[in-house]
Amino acid sequence: MRQKLTKYSLAAITILFLVYKVNLEFALGIDTFFVNSLPSKKLPAEFLNYKNLSQVKNFSNHDVILFNKNSWDYPSSSCLVLEVSKEQIIVKIIDKKEPYDHGGGNTGQNFFNTVFKMDTSGNILDTLNFKTSTSNESDFGDTFLLNKQIVNKDLLFYQTWPTDGNKAKKNFIPVNKDLTWNQEKLLKYYRETILPNCVYLDNFYAWRDSSIPADKKSSVLYFAYNDWYVMYGIPNEIFKDVLNQKKKIINENLLNKIPSERIVFKHFQKLDYNSNVMGRTQSNDTYTYYYWNAVAYINILFKKDTLKFKKEDVFISDYDTNKKSIYSTVKDTPKELEKSLRLGYAFYTNPFLKFTLIHDKEKGRLYLIKKIE
């Protein structure tokens, strides 16, 4: 009798081991099926009325207004905020895109940009439109918001509309356009006039200008004396020095991550347990990745009021790659998870504004949170 029990026990262990190996190899989901069959915890009553952010229209004495929405790829790059003065800000959004095909595999996207000038109450005072493109050879060049101005560094014009309302396009002031300066004069002017006085400096290649010989197209752009300039025909010594100068306005966008003290992750609701097989690499064999599909319940604090919403499709990792066994799980790391989720939202306000901007970068939605007077 004891021998039969031992025999059956060994057979059962062997079968379970084979099931384990087959499940591991092919990610059949047998283990996740059993986990999901277990009773799940009920959602605490305080979170039952939480809605997705897109469904929240108001809270306490605040309105939640959808200012802009896009649904195309990489929506997180579509929004920018600049502070023009204490009374005004400008908000740039990309509200439309269209594909282009120039032949020979030269394909990409053109983008339609709208810039809004807003007062302290969130009212739109004026707008301006321009195009940008993934192509560096587009007819309309590439336009940036630099130094509180709208600057086209390809077609060499700028607009001072953000600060003074003037939409006229002003040309860059050319320096050495006739290419008569020798290298010594160019270096002297660069060191004594440009470097001490410019607040922006960048290399430029004048490939669009057919009047300039190929060996003289290397140029430099700079902003000084409240004007934009382009100096043509620079020697390689200046080109290399510009690369080392820290006179570039790289990112003026005031939309930033929400301060950690203002965003609180109140609860994570685990919905179902899942697994995926990750492919073999040069340094690792295939392995099974386990995670929970979850919902995050989030509070954003506004002085005495609180914006409450939920975020679906949150993935909580349940696999530590430092462990040998795929079943060696570690405790959830809420701090890392919260840090990652916090980066999905951008935020801007200042003491003079009667509203706050919140950008849901994943969904490409910009919200205006406005206090009801």
Question: Where in the chain are the domains?
Answer: 1-39, 41-53+257-371
Kindly give the interhelix angle for 2-26 and 30-37, rounded to the nearest 10 degrees: 100
pLDDT for residue 188 = 97
pLDDT score for 42: 85
What's the confidence (pLDDT) of residue 338? 85
Task: For the chain, report the end-to-end CA distance as a whole number of angstroms.
Answer: 85
Contact 310, 47 (CB under 8 A): yes
Q: What is the pLDDT of residues 199-209, one digit of tens each?
A: 999 999 999 99
- pLDDT tens for residues 125-152? 999 999 988 887 888 888 888 888 999 9
At 161, which amino acid appears? W
As a whole number of angstroms, the distance between CA 29 and CA 143 comes to 51
- One-character DSSP codes across 286-303: -EEEEEEEEEEEEEEEET
| pLDDT at 154 exceeding the cut of 90 | yes
Q: Which is higher by pLDDT, 112 or 281? A: 112
Three-class DSSP category at 317: strand
**Confidence at residue 102, expressed as pLDDT on a 0 to 100 scale:** 75
Give the predicted TM-score (pTM) of the model.
Answer: 0.79
pLDDT at 315: 84
pLDDT computed for residue 86 by the predictor: 87
Containing H/E element for 346?
strand 345-348
Q: Which residues contact 71 (CB under 8 A, 6 or more apart)?
A: 364
Average the pLDDT over each of 41-45, 56-60, 61-65, 155-159 and give the range with the smallest value. 41-45
CA–CA separation, 205 vs 283, rounded Å?
A: 43
Mean pLDDT of 344-352: 91
Average pLDDT over every residue of 42-56: 94
Distance CA 267, CA 25 (A): 34
